Amino acid sequence: MEFLKIKNVDKKFLNQYALRDVSMSVPENSIYGLLGPNGAGKTTLIRIINRITAQDKGEVYFKGQKIKMEDVFRIGYLPEERGLYKKMKVGEQALYLAQLKGMPKREATKKLKHWFEKFEIQGWWEKKVEELSKGMQQKLQFVSTVIHEPELLIFDEPFSGFDPINTNLLKNEVRELKKKGSTIIFSTHNMGSVEELCDHITLINKAENILEGPINEVRNRYKSNIYQIEFNGDPDKLDTSLNHNYEILERKTINGNNAIRVKLLHHTSKNELLSLIIPVVEIIAFREEIPSMNDIFIKAVNEYKSAETPVS
């Protein structure tokens, strides 16, 4: 089921498009990666979902209904540029933010105590925010984002400012939230964490949605039929065994073993390739090269650029 659907959304700032005919649908209980270069329009899209700004055209559907102001109570939003009232006490502040999201005070206090323990910041309740380290403040912000157990969570660069240990802690929390049933939109430039966490992605570039789909499908779409073979034996023999259906891209050694990268041409299959080389050399490893999200990101953005160039 579609949890959140964005349909043909336009947003203009005077004569500049911030979003142009953007559509995407976020499946329920998924982690959805919202990717794109700086200034592509991701933050604008997130703000539209959060009802901070309104679109010029198009619709946003929240669980099948047009999104309403009350729906923001069911959304938890961790903005990229985030901060807290520095002079306020940690506990007071977390309570205030929870109450802003419509939580009763008693319940909020109870839940906060629990989260504070989990994140090992329980001793900081009475301290002022300015006394906290940056990492602690980030934890506090994460807690205030999820405290009201929203059905939809939007994290904009959640890991910036975290050390590897806390990043891991947070990643586990994100997975945990998914397990509990939340739908998560996740915007980041860290492609490693996208591969690790996301089920679906959307790539926005220059105000337009240029790539969308389940992450495995997207990666398969960008597969280039390149295989890496690690083997024991004479590389020249291998060369001669391959016909015009295969193109050798690179010869190298991996851990003292010979290796080649081969591209399959003319719809040949990997089984055919294997059947050709098995008699010739001893195969140690055979692996298809699946492009990383990093490569896909760069490739997609560059393709878009070159497609656009002749027009302009």
Partner 1 sequence: MTILGPLLFGAIVIAPAWLANLEDKQVKKIAVIDSSKIFINKLPETEYIKFNYLQNTRVEDIKRNFEQTDYYALLYITHLVANTSNSVVMYSDQQPSLSVKSHISSAIEKELEQQKLRAQGIDDNILQTIKTNINIRTVQWTEGGGEKESSTELAMIVGYFGGFLIYFFIFLFGAQVMRGVIEEKTNRIVEIIVSSVKPFQLMMGKIIGIGLVGLTQFGLWVVLTLIIVTGAKPLIAPQMTTPAAQEVKAPSIMNNENTEQAMPFQETASQQSTEDLSGNIEAEPIFNALEDINFGLIIGVFIFFFLGGYLLYGSLFAAIGSAVDNETDTQQFMLPITIPLILAIIVLVQGISNPQGGIAFWFSIIPLTSPILMMARLPFGVPTWEVMLSMALLALTFIGTTWLSGKIYRTGILMYGKKVNYKELWKWIRYKI
Residue 202 CA from chain centroid, whole number? 8
* Binding letters toward partner 1, positions 119-148, x by CB under 8 A: ----------------------x--x----
Q: What does the DSSP 8-state code read for residue 88? A: S
Contact flag: residue 81 with partner 1 (CB under 8 A): yes
| Residue whose CB is less far from partner 1, 74 or 263 | 74
Q: Which stretch binds partner 1 (CB under 8 A): 82-90, 209-217, 229-237, 258-266?
A: 82-90
Contact flag: residue 85 with partner 1 (CB under 8 A): yes
Amino acid at 205: N
Contact flag: residue 59 with partner 1 (CB under 8 A): no
Question: How do beta strands 65-66 and 2-13 pair?
Answer: unpaired
Nearest to 277 by CA among 230, 221, 208: 230
Question: How do beta strands 152-156 and 183-187 pair?
Answer: parallel
Q: Which stretch binds partner 1 (CB under 8 A): 78-86, 116-124, 175-183, 233-241?
A: 78-86
Q: What does the DSSP 8-state code read for residue 161? A: T
**CB atoms closer than 10 angstroms to residue 75:** 22
Contact flag: residue 187 with partner 1 (CB under 8 A): no
Q: Which stretch binds partner 1 (CB under 8 A): 51-59, 117-125, 166-174, 248-256?
A: 51-59
Q: Alpha carbon of 17 to those of 12, 36, 50, 51: distances in Å?
A: 4, 15, 19, 18
Q: How many residues bind partner 1 (CB under 8 A)?
A: 27
Contact flag: residue 77 with partner 1 (CB under 8 A): yes
Amino acid at 77: Y
Task: Check: CB of residue 245 under 8 Å from CB of residue 264.
Answer: yes
Q: Which of residues 195-254 bind partner 1 (CB under 8 A)?
A: none
Contact flag: residue 6 with partner 1 (CB under 8 A): no
| Residue whose CB is less far from partner 1, 83 or 310 | 83
Residue 90 CA from chain centroid, whole number? 30
Contact flag: residue 83 with partner 1 (CB under 8 A): yes
Alpha helices in the chain (DSSP H): 42-49, 90-100, 105-118, 134-146, 164-179, 191-197, 215-221, 235-241, 270-277, 293-308
Contact flag: residue 311 with partner 1 (CB under 8 A): no
| Residue whose CB is less far from partner 1, 7 or 51 | 51
| Residue whose CB is less far from partner 1, 50 or 202 | 50
Shortest distance (Å) from residue 72 CB to partner 1: 6
Helix (H, G, I), strand (E, B) or coil at 291: coil
Q: Site residues (CB under 8 A) for partner 1?
A: 13-14, 47, 50-54, 56, 69, 72-73, 75, 77-79, 81-86, 97, 100-101, 141, 144
